[in-house]
Chains A and B, each alone.
Chain A
């Protein structure tokens, strides 16, 4: 800073930055993230360029890879949207992982009671109960915030740990949900009639992707055009001001958490009834937490969230290739995802600084 003083310059921060500078900053950040990721691959004993190329090819090289990437991105779009709608109102929920499982559990539980219904009504009930499962868990945090002043971030993280133990309990005991004929902790296989229909007959991509895209459009519309969207944005801008404008903060928090949790719950239901066709622990490979990164990288824009989700879906999909072709553990993508987030967060803020001549008053 001394050098700047001598040159009669100062650093200042602006609220808005030029779009070009922002694009440049993000590009630089991505470059930094790619270089760092390359270093990680080298650390794991493989050639960094070969690794990155195989990661990209595995995610986006060809129709089948691309459709598989869209499959992976489906839960991420939903958990990303769950992040977007809440974070817009500065409601810091990190309960997406728990709500994902709550949705999966609720829809499986309801399924066991209504399994004899015909395909369409059965499917509608399953999807609806997935939303309800996630929404209920999120509402617990909302109520704790509204009436007991417990920070959302803390109650959601605690509920994640609690729900994780509950599902382990149900899956590891044949008294409850564990398939009696199985050695592994998982439920029975879901019959064809209750599964999500496929979008293209020879690929795994299912109805859930269409639901996710629809959800993105709905959330975008909600935030832009509805009174609730206005209230959420007002809450994010300035909670005290919203109080003065007569917005009932508690009901906005409760409603936002309900929608956010419901979206995350749908993600869980999609994995059970669309991909794995049974309830087991690995229906989530960190989809809840990754959704937070996906939403934040999209600058909390619902439509951009679809794109960042597909990008991350491609990373996940590509990492499967990494392990088979180069023997690099798939866990590398968790590190890469977080590194991208840290670089981009910093770059966006840095783009808002500029150096200018000091004013002499």
Chain B
């Protein structure tokens, strides 16, 4: 069985799907890191992603516009983030509780609307997904060209977001304001900036990214919507932020690890192995637990993470 895997085409395929499958994780994690650096814990990523997946599919299925689906998913994620921000920042409902409520809302709503629209029958409604956009010249490099440079446009964008958000947080005025809101909100306040305003926008950005991540699942990977299809990817995004010690560049390792396990499982299933595929499906979560247990470095965790801000 393992001989089958040690074949150049298969290895290239595994790594190429790893890059593709890391896209939603990366997008959601990049959004979440900005939210958390501003001092808000968004536990609703999973729900926002699921809503994005549903809206992305629904709009595309009805209009045929893949990008319109993506745009709607971004808006839907942003709207859910508004609700989260209103409840946890304005009303100061516990942030964990708010996130959980949104997850339950999203899984309930998408399941209900999906069933109401398409019924219980398993007639599969599908859309055309994005086709690959090979980068000229680079995509001709042997092996690497197929793995890295023959991906969908959104995948390139997701990877570009890492340095962009890193630079934004570190070197721009707004980035500094966001980081200060998470570290020392009173200092931000004395400078005449609005802590809660900054946090509100950070949360909306995070929601929009989660919506985009979800839409890529339907419009970029699977071509259909299945209730609960995010299957914990939103939680993995939160874990990626922790594993990366709240620094965008460092989040890449955990992202690729989870995506690799996912891609590996698909390929292994195809080879007819004896290992039950359910165990392979559980691998990313088992590894995530191990990663978290070995991760002791939390030096960059924002000091005011999860604490609502009250003006004195």
Does A150 sit within 8 A of B, measured CB to CB? yes
Question: How many contacting A-B pairs (Cβ < 8 A)?
Answer: 122
Asked whether A346 lies within 8 Å of B93 as measured between CB atoms, the reply is yes
For A158, give its contact among B87, B98, B289 (CB under 8 Å): B289
Bound together, the chains give a CA A269 to CA B118 distance in angstroms of 34
Within 8 A of B (CB), among A140-162: 144, 148-150, 153-155, 157-159, 161-162
Contact assessment for A150 and B289 in the assembled complex, using a CB-CB cutoff below 8 Å? yes
A338-B101, A338-B108 known, 7 other contacts, Cβ within 8 Å? A44-B116, A154-B235, A161-B231, A329-B112, A335-B108, A335-B109, A345-B93
In the bound assembly, the distance between CA atoms of A148 and B92 in angstroms comes to 29
Residues of A participating in the B interface, judged by any CB pair closer than 8 Å: 13, 40, 43-45, 92, 94, 144, 148-150, 153-155, 157-159, 161-162, 165-166, 168-169, 172-173, 289, 292-293, 296, 328-329, 331-339, 341-342, 345-346, 349-350
* Interface contact A158-B285, CB-CB below 8 Å: yes
A334 to B111, CA, bound (A): 8
Evaluate whether A144 and B107 lie within 8 angstroms (CB atoms) in the complex, with A154-B235, A165-B282, A292-B100 already known: no
Measured between alpha carbons, how far is A148 from B297 in the docked complex, in Å? 11
The listed residue (A165, A329, A342) touching B101 by CB distance below 8 A is A342
Q: Which residues of A contact B115 (CB under 8 A)?
A: 329, 331
- The answer to whether B104 touches A158 (Cβ under 8 A) is no
* B120 A329 Cβ-Cβ under 8 A: yes
Identify A144's interface contact among B114, B286, B293, CB under 8 A: B293
A342 to B100 CA separation, bound complex (whole angstroms): 10
**In the assembled complex, B202 has its CB within 8 A of some CB on chain A:** no
The one of B87, B107, B238 that contacts A345, using a Cβ cutoff of 8 Å: B87
The complex places the Cα of A339 from the Cα of B106 at a distance, in Å, of: 10
Which of B91, B101, B293 is in CB contact (< 8 Å) with A349?
B91
Question: CA A335 – CA B108 in complex, angstroms?
Answer: 4
For window 22-43 of B, CB contacts with A under 8 Å fall at 43
Pairwise interchain contact A154-B239, C-beta atoms closer than 8 A = yes
- Over the window 80-120 of chain B, the binary record of Cβ atoms lying under 8 Å from chain A Cβ atoms (1 yes, 0 no) is 00010001000111001110111011111101111110011
Taking CB atoms, residues of chain A closer than 8 Å to B83 are: 342
**Complex interface: chain B residues within 8 A of A40 (CB):** 112
Given the complex of chains A and B, what is the CA–CA distance between A148 and B295 in angstroms? Answer: 8
Check B293 against A165 for contact (C-beta < 8 Å). no
Query: Does B144 have its Cβ within 8 Å of any Cβ on chain A?
Result: no
Minimum C-beta distance from A319 to chain B (A): 10
Do residues A338 and B109 form an inter-chain contact, with CB atoms below 8 A? yes
Smallest CB-CB separation from A290: which chain B residue?
B104
Query: Is there contact, CB below 8 Å, between B116 and A149?
Result: no
- Complex-state Cα separation, A155 to B293, whole angstroms: 10
B276 within 8 A of A: yes
Q: State A332–B93 Cα separation when bound (angstroms).
A: 25
Residue of B nearest to A157 (CB): B235
Q: Shortest CB–CB separation between residue B288 and chain A, in angstroms?
A: 6
Task: State in angstroms the CA–CA spacing of A345 and B281 once bound together.
Answer: 35
With a cutoff of 8 Å between Cβ atoms, the chain A residues found around residue B282 in the complex are 161-162, 165-166
Is B173 in contact with chain A by the CB < 8 A criterion?
no
Residues of B271-301 whose CB lies within 8 A of A: 276, 278-279, 281-282, 285-286, 288-289, 292-293, 296, 298
A334 touching B112, Cβ below 8 Å: yes
A338 to B105, Cβ gap below 8 A? yes
Question: Taking the nearest CB of chain A, how far is it from the CB of B225, in angstroms?
Answer: 14
Q: Are A162 and B293 in contact, with the CB atoms below 8 A? A: no
Interface 0/1 of B112-134, CB less than 8 Å to A: 11111001100000000000000
Residues of A within 8 A of B286 (CB): 158, 162
Q: Does A349 lie within 8 Å of B116, measured CB to CB?
A: no
User: Is B232 located at the chain interface by the 8 A CB criterion?
Assistant: yes
A334 pairs with B107, CB closer than 8 A: yes
| 16 sampled A-B residue pairs with Cβ under 8 A | A94-B100, A154-B239, A154-B242, A158-B288, A161-B232, A165-B281, A165-B282, A166-B278, A166-B279, A169-B278, A289-B104, A329-B115, A332-B116, A334-B107, A341-B104, A349-B93
Mark contacts of B145-176 with chain A using CB atoms, 8 A cut-off: 1 yes-contact digit, 0 otherwise: 00000000000000000000000000000000
Instruction: Using C-beta atoms within 8 Å of the partner chain, give the interface range for chain B.
Output: 35 or more
CB distance from A290 to the nearest CB of B (A): 8
Contact of A153 among B43, B105, B119 (CB under 8 A): B43
Q: Chain A residues near B281 (CB, 8 Å)?
A: 165
Given the known interface contacts A43-B116, A329-B115, A345-B93, the answer about A150 and B107 at a Cβ–Cβ threshold of 8 Å is no
Contacts of A349 in B (CB 8 A): 91-93
B101, B120, B231, B238 interface centre (most CB from chain A within 10 Å): B101
Nearest B residue to A92 by beta-carbon distance?
Answer: B96
Find chain A residues with CB under 8 A from B119 CB.
329
Distance from B283 Cβ to chain A, minimum over Cβ atoms (Å): 9
A149 and B285 contact, CB distance less than 8 A: no
Give min CB distance, A166 to chain B, whole Å: 7
* With known contacts A154-B235, A166-B278, A338-B104, A346–B91 Cβ distance under 8 A: yes
Q: Which residues of A contact B238 (CB under 8 A)?
A: 154
Q: Is the CB of A332 within 8 A of B105?
A: no
Please report the C-alpha to C-alpha distance between residue A43 and residue B109 in the assembled complex, in whole angstroms.
Answer: 12
Q: Are B100 and A169 closer than 8 Å at their CB atoms?
A: no
B289: which A residues are within 8 A, CB to CB? 144, 150, 155, 158-159, 162
B270 to chain A, nearest CB (A): 18
For A328, give the chain B residue with the smallest CB separation. B116
- Residues of B with C-beta under 8 A to A334: 104, 107-109, 111-112
| Whole-angstrom CA separation of A335 from B115 in the bound complex | 12
Contact of B278 with A172 in the complex, beta carbons under 8 Å? yes
| Bound-state Cα–Cα, A144 to B100, Å | 21
Cβ 8 A contact of B279, one of A155, A165, A342:
A165
CA distance A148 to B291 in the complex (A): 11
**Contact yes or no, B278 A165, CB < 8 A:** yes
Give CA–CA (A92, B41) in the complex, Å: 13
Top 5 nearest A-B pairs by Cβ distance? A334-B108, A329-B115, A338-B105, A169-B278, A335-B108
Chain A residues closer than 8 Å to B104, beta-carbon distance:
289, 292-293, 334, 337-338, 341
Q: Bound complex: CA of A64 vs CA of B231, how far in Å?
A: 38
Shortest beta-carbon distance from B83 to chain A in Å:
8
Alpha-carbon distance between A186 and B286 when the two chains are bound, in angstroms:
25
